Amino acid sequence: MTRNVVVTGYGVISPIGADAASFRDCLANGRCGIASDTFSIEELSITLPGARVNNIDARIDALGPALKRADRVSQMAVLAADEAIAHAGLEFDDETSARTACIIGSGIGGQGSFDRSYYDMLKKERRPHPLTILRVIPNAPASHVSIRHGLRGPSFAIASACASATHSIGVCADIIRGGSADVGLAGASEAVLTYGALEAWSAMRILADETCRPFSKNRNGLSIGEGAGVLVLEEEDHAKARGATIIARLTGFGMNADGKDMINPSMEGAAACMKAALQNVRIDEPSAVYVNAHGTGTFLNDPTETKAIRETFGAGADDLIVSSTKSMHGHLLGAAGGIEAIASVMTLETGVVPPTINLDEPDPDCDLNYAPNEAVERRINIAVSNSFAFGGMNAAAVFEKP
């Protein structure tokens, strides 16, 4: 028996909206959450463009003592998961809890707790907090979500840099298709706007000096953001039996590795990944296809991804519409694919394609329709969400209208 996977809910914590409704509104209006900011730990500080999540402290306090002691990466994951569960109308009884998976990744884990523990040891000569290990482990977000809701199905983290969330979505879908769960929470969280992490990123010399400009000739790097995106995935008959609203169908997933380089992306690897995701998807109208690009705003990624999209869609590539929402919310690293998958699903729902803002100088090497600077109203039937990570790890998810 075929077990189809559908989306029945989602939750977002992002620099352009700390809930799904705000996120949707900001996407449609091309709002930018990237700004010059100072990230510090006591007397150590660094000033860079970044995309911070604001106005969630009261919501974190309301989560209770255990989560108040957790790292920010887990707190944001729980907030996003709580919204996704409420959006899906899920209620967990003993049977449902045992059949619900929780696959929530993170590229790095509890970076803020790492910073604090090393600062305390090296600058203040005192031992780390006794909960440091529980705060920093990459599976902490998945663990906190599963504990909070009493979930007893498969639960773990995937850490594959910027592909973590999309890998989590695809693997969770496979768990449901394989019969080990009927419901799954899938996505990722990231909280690396810390002094130590940003010094390390700055040393790579790939951070933008002002803002993120994907596909624009004058782009000069990426802007780091923080946040979490979690989807509720569900076996289709299970969703129908409980009267859930089916928002989208997850009809394709591809993943592979370049096998070439830690930093330089491979056009062939990215194209093969997208082709794998689309192998069982019928495309009648390329103009009704939206690609949420990885679109980092770096010199290497943008033309490479453009060529990979052309290789994947052939003559239909000129009819597609593509955008990089990283131009608004920044690069959420491991969590990027979570909120970008949600942006893709929202595009199916609303027919509003989010723009690539800050695209003010066309690049001859980036020659697709990137919805420059303003949202585009268009009927979209298929949405592809790309994630291409350091280490040559690629993942792509395909969503269709129900």
- What backbone torsions phi and psi does residue 347 show, to the nearest 5 degrees? -65, -40
Q: Supply the Cα-derived Rg of the chain in whole angstroms.
A: 20
Q: Which of 189, 198, 206 is nearest to 115 (CA)?
A: 198
- The DSSP result for 162-217, as a single string, is BTHHHHHHHHHHHHHHTTS-SEEEEEEEE---SHHHHHHHHHTT-B-SS---TTBT
- Rounded CA separation 16/227 (Å): 10
Beta strand residue intervals within 258-392, DSSP E: 289-292, 321-323, 352-353, 376-377, 382-389
- The DSSP result for 163-175, as a single string, is THHHHHHHHHHHH
SS3 state of residue 248 = strand
Q: Tell me, what DSSP letter sits at residue 333?
A: G
User: Any idea which residue has 């569900």 for tokens?
Assistant: 234
Strand 44-51, strand 224-225: pairing: parallel
Rounded to the nearest 5 percent, the helix, strand and coil shares of the chain are 40, 25, 35
- The DSSP result for 23-92, as a single string, is HHHHHHTT----EEEEEEETTEEEEEEEE---S-HHHHHTT-HHHHTS-HHHHHHHHHHHHHHHHHT---
Question: Could you list the active site residues?
Answer: 162, 294, 331
